[in-house]
Amino acid sequence: MKKNTVLLLASLAFGLTVSCNADSQTTECINPLTYTDIPDNDVIRVGDDFYMVSTTMYYCPGAPIMHSRDLVHWSIISYVYDCLNDDAIYNMQDGRNAYGKGQWAASLRYVDGTFYCLFIANDQGKTYVYKTKDIKSSFWERSVIDRPFHDASMLFEDGHLYVVWGNGDLRITELEPDGTAIKQNGVDQLLIESPRQGYNLRAEGAHFYHIGDYYYVLDIDWPSGGVRTETCWRSKNLLGPYESKTILQGAFDGRGDGVAQGAIFETSKGDWYSMMFQDHGAVGRIPTLQPLTWVDGWPVLGDNTVPMKQFEVNLKPYGENRVWASDEFDYSAGQGLDLVWQWNHKPDDSLWSVSKRTGWLRLTAGAPVEDIMHARNTLTQRTVGPRCVSEVKLDVSGMKPGDNAGICAFQSNYCRIGVEVAPDGERYLVGINRVPPSRRWGRPGQPQPEQPQGNGETEVFRMPLKQDLVWLRIKYVFTPQADDTCGPDKAFMSWSLDGGEWYDVDAELQMRFTLDLFTGYRTALYNYSTLSSGGYADFDYFHQSEY
């Protein structure tokens, strides 16, 4: 064991540099905006307020709504839904789950005082249309369409509602004006057939607009031998024909991943911008803001189609970034969890509490499960790059034999550190790395590493625990700095018996963004049992900071 040399920062940082002059009329943008997982965005403006929706798939509540007034600082203000369905999938029964599925690529619009949000639920083969008058209020009114519109985008026009959707070939389908159903005898046809030759990925991620004389469809594609690219199609007629042009293409921020897929929008001052994301390894798909210039009727993004790292936004600085945060769990009676938290699936509300012990989060174990991937009521928050540390203080006095509680670097490849109670009641502090058998990597022609058995978990640390309190940390290095001795996308576990003297587990996790979960790494707080229900673990705080 090695004494941990990483000091947890006392202050909460949000990973964004802005102008220090409070009277400044511009805001400095340094991409990525928030170095965290906010993919598949759509952005709209209502007055001086901007609203953004993103994909969170299986997490509940889902489809977060974020607000900004300067396009640089974004805070979560609500969620579109609490859970897609109260069924065996989202209740994690009978071995079922929605990992890698659920809510994908929402379209957000505002028409005549009503906000609309449309997205596919790809585990159900359905499209949902939600609406509300109050975007700051969570859990909107819902309509269900029994047809999946992949990566769809809405356009409201002259009493009509059109949706462009698909991958490879893009189609247009007309809905009822209120979005409750497909319009009988309405438009429903092929709109754009994207090129088939020379592409790793054909058109998807559509965003549909009518601006000036043209209809525009923005999509993402991936030319063979190139990078992920944003392409624009335009036509003066709704149903085409459409011509195309590349509007954003290029490596960004030291990575070969292109920046693409997202929205374009105009400020009240008449300036135009776009919000596009970049696949960025284990941390997830991170948002970038790009300036937009109109050239001969085409929206050209970045610096003449090249993604930009830094520029000035012609809006006054406002607010703060708040899509993740530390939490002391000091809630008032009847108050829900901070909006930065999401459960791994639909929670059983009888098995968690912030009121049974004031100032603590209590997680109670439900029905026995095999491991954390099958455990309900796992509470998660986004991690943040380029580096961050998550820490908790844990009281294990209420745990029962078979219980496991702690924190986890949560994705398909995970590490977790916590307390395990053996069948005889003895407690152990344990560290686990998991590389599932279906997610093995090795170099051809060389000896393969020893493969884990069963669910892929490998125990890397075990120590008897003779006290009720323990402090736990996970350190994330997504992009190494000059003082790091490790490579990218590594996670490290640490523990303490007094909150002052820290020790590292002598192991590391190679984090990977895998498609079976399809989300960036989060820190998860968990308590599950392999034997019986009813045992509980209390978390005094959750601290996360950049370093």
Question: Tokens 């202050």 map to which residue?
Answer: 11
Question: Using CB atoms within 10 A of its CB, is residue 444 exposed (0-12), middle (13-18) or buried (19+)?
Answer: exposed
- SS3 at position 222: strand
Tell me: pLDDT of 154 over 60. yes
Question: Tokens 């890397």 map to which residue?
Answer: 460
Contact of 86 with 104, CB cutoff 8 Å: no
Nearest to 325 by CA among 1, 4, 3, 11: 11
Structure tokens at 441: 């990597």
Percent pLDDT > 70 in the chain is: 93
In order of 11, 102, 214, 310, 346, the CA distances from 349 in angstroms are 31, 21, 49, 44, 9
Tell me: pLDDT of 546 over 50. yes
Nearest to 525 by CA among 356, 341, 399, 388: 341
pLDDT at 256: 84
- SS3 at position 147: coil
Cα–Cα distance for residue pair 43/213, rounded to 1 Å:
22
Question: Tokens 């820190």 map to which residue?
Answer: 523
14-28 tens-digit pLDDT = 333 333 455 789 999
Cα–Cα distance for residue pair 436/32, rounded to 1 Å:
31
Percent pLDDT > 90 in the chain is: 88
Question: Using CB atoms within 10 A of its CB, is residue 212 exposed (0-12), middle (13-18) or buried (19+)?
Answer: exposed
Q: Which long-range contacts (CB under 8 A, 24 or more apart) does 125-128 make?
A: 127/152, 128/81, 128/84, 128/103
Contact of 281 with 35, CB cutoff 8 Å: no
pLDDT at 230: 97
Question: Tokens 């340094």 map to which residue?
Answer: 30
Tell me: pLDDT of 450 over 50. no
Please compute the mean of the pLDDT values over residues 374-391 and round it to a whole number. Answer: 98
87-117 tens-digit pLDDT = 999 999 999 999 999 999 999 999 999 999 9
Most confident of 1-15, 272-286, 441-455: 272-286
Beta bridge partners of 285: 279
Cα–Cα distance for residue pair 26/17, rounded to 1 Å:
13
Tell me: pLDDT of 41 over 70. yes
User: What are phi and psi for residue 126, nearest 5 degrees?
Assistant: -135, 160
User: Domains in the chain and their CATH numbers?
Assistant: 17-313 (2.115.10.20), 342-546 (2.60.120.200)
Q: Please write down the HEC assignment for all residues of 479-521.
A: CCCCCCCCCCCEEEEEEECCCCCEEEEEEEEECCCCCCCCCCC
pLDDT at 390: 98
Kindly indicate the confidence band of residue 360, based on its pLDDT and cuts at 50, 70 and 90: very high
Nearest to 471 by CA among 419, 523, 528, 524: 419
317-353 tens-digit pLDDT = 999 999 999 999 999 988 899 999 999 999 999 999 9
pLDDT at 438: 56
pLDDT at 2: 39
Cα–Cα distance for residue pair 230/187, rounded to 1 Å:
26
Structure tokens at 380: 């998660």
Angle at 175 between CA 173 and CA 176, to 5 degrees: 160
- DSSP secondary structure letter of residue 452: P
Helix (H) or strand (E) holding 300, with range, is strand 298-301
Provide the Cα torsion 48, 103, 98, 150; round to 10°: -150
How are beta strands 285-295 and 342-343 bridged, if at all? unpaired
Cα–Cα distance for residue pair 65/254, rounded to 1 Å:
30
pLDDT at 20: 42
Mean pLDDT of the chain: 93
Tell me: pLDDT of 522 over 60. yes
Contact of 313 with 70, CB cutoff 8 Å: yes
Nearest to 198 by CA among 223, 229, 221: 223
Tell me: pLDDT of 417 over 70. yes
Tell me: pLDDT of 142 over 90. yes
Rounded to a whole number of angstroms, the distance between the first and last alpha carbons of the chain is 22
495-507 tens-digit pLDDT = 999 999 999 999 9
Nearest to 290 by CA among 277, 273, 271: 273
Least confident of 68-72, 148-152, 225-229: 225-229
Side chain identity at 201, as an amino acid letter?
Answer: L
Least confident of 295-299, 330-334, 447-451: 447-451
Tell me: pLDDT of 485 over 90. yes
Kindly indicate the confidence band of residue 534, based on its pLDDT and cuts at 50, 70 and 90: very high
Measured from the Cβ of residue 125, the count of other Cβ atoms closer than 10 Å reads 10
